[in-house]
A and B are shown apart, each in its own frame.
Chain A
Amino acid sequence: MWSILGILSLAIGIILYEVPSLLTKNFKKEIWVFSILLIFGVILSIIESMNIEIPNPLEWLTIIYKPFTDFILDILQ
């Protein structure tokens, strides 16, 4: 509970810090990218703080690269 509040207040702090200058400079695209990344970050942080498992991208990379990795290690073993 407290960690979720903490994460949200951090997010609000970040928004208050960055967005005003972006608005005055009329950086629309930047605000969009910033917001998408921030939302993604906040959601993941909340999930992580609740100790729910987040899928690990290294697992996917391991699966995709397996044939190549095995090939290289075979030659050198």
Chain B
Amino acid sequence: MIEKVKISPHQFKLIVILVYIGSSILVIPGILASEVKQDAWISALLGILFGLLLVWLYNSLGDKFGNMTLVEYSEKILGKWIGKLISLFFVMFLFINCSTLIYIFGNFITTEILTETPIQFTNIIFIAVIIMGTRYGLETFAKASEILYPLVLVLLIMLLIFLCKDIDLKNIQPVFEYEIKHIVKGSLLYVSYSSLTLVALMMIFPAYVNNKKEAKKSFLIGTLTGGIIIFFLTFFVISVLDPNIAALNEYSTFTLAKKINVGKFLERLEAIVTLLWFITIFYKTIIYFYGIVFGLAQILKLKDYKPLTLPSGILVVIFSLIIYPNSSYANKWNSTTWVSFALTSGFFIPLLLLLVGKIRKIKNKY
């Protein structure tokens, strides 16, 4: 295959955080609020726990197969044909999710910012940037994360500091009004957006991280950090906005930013959230797109993934226009079939690979 480009555990950790908060940063507080209203913060905490357990699963898998990506060891564990079948399913998962992310990007822009622009244009521009980033290679966009992540953190802290005075603790009461099973359902939706989608990183982890032991720690710390960020955002969304308003809004964090009003001169800082969110969704999408082209190249045993980027880009954009006829279809899909689909690729497939690998005593000497 191509020369082994390696990224540092620190870069990997930043990528984990950015992918984790990816699309969640904008929509999860609202989704949790619509499920369990003022108890959304409880779901957010529980979700962190589930996320860490999932990453523990991915770490165990990565432990056994330090030098191969999920697509590669799938063949080794399950044999050539079943392995390739599972890998193809995995790539299909990455493909559909990637199209979803591009749709989300385009939908947000055309709903809130460039309302006159047709969604085709926003999506095409977005994929063009993604294709460029992918062709530059993993090392490049990993290095970029070291600059972009601090920016994300600063913008987030600004957002929260400016809103501190607007917190109304009455909004989180009564606490635990909702039954545990509803809170768990909220967490499950949250996990399907943030943690199950981390499985895409199995195309990089740990094969392309230069220190396996540190990589596992980075995966866990990154997930924890992402979870803490989402927790704070959820808490702020329900305590600053009314939980009922939060539940109605598709882009709750954006609505939150609109509320910033400091000394009557810092107003309407939605630009903070928009910039923040561009960066996080860019990283999530590029990791997915990289997974698609790299995974396909590995399944078909090609010598390079770069030639696949342009045609795959076209396909991903076309599907981003097909999959969701409208946003209520999107919401329905996200709270139903998507959960099953994400569980299959993000939980059942890695679990299957781990168990069969253990049973067949397949080892990868590295």
B268 interface residue (CB < 8 Å to A): no
| Extra inter-chain contacts (9) besides given A37-B315, A58-B324, A65-B341, CB under 8 Å | A14-B310, A27-B303, A27-B307, A29-B300, A31-B307, A41-B318, A44-B314, A58-B337, A62-B333
B184 interface residue (CB < 8 Å to A): yes
B302→A48 contact, CB < 8 A: no
Residues of B within 8 A of A40 (CB): 311, 315
Are A58 and B302 in contact, with the CB atoms below 8 A? no
**Beta-carbon contact of A18 and B322 below 8 Å:** no
Main secondary structure of the interface of A (DSSP, over half): helix
Chain A hits for B336, CB < 8 A: 62, 69, 73
Number of interface residues of B (CB under 8 A): 32
Q: How far is the CB of A3 from chain B (nearest CB, A)?
A: 10
Q: Which of A27, A45, A65, A72 contacts B318 (CB 8 A)?
A: A45
Cβ of A57 and Cβ of B315 under 8 Å apart? no
Enumerate chain B residues within 8 angstroms of A17, measured Cβ to Cβ.
Answer: 310
A side interface size, CB within 8 A: 33
A-contacting residues of B (Cβ < 8 Å)? 96, 181-182, 184-185, 188, 296, 300-304, 307-308, 310-312, 314-315, 318-319, 321-325, 333, 336-337, 339-341
B324: chain A residues at CB < 8 Å are: 58
Contacts of A34 in B (CB 8 A): 307-308, 311
Whether B340 and A65, one on each chain, are in contact in the complex, defined by CB atoms closer than 8 angstroms, is: yes
Contacting residues, chain A, for B301 (C-beta < 8 A): 29
For A56, what are the chain B residues with a Cβ–Cβ distance below 8 Å?
322-323, 325
The 10 closest A-B pairs by CB, nearest first: A37-B311, A41-B314, A76-B185, A38-B311, A65-B340, A62-B337, A34-B307, A69-B340, A44-B318, A14-B310
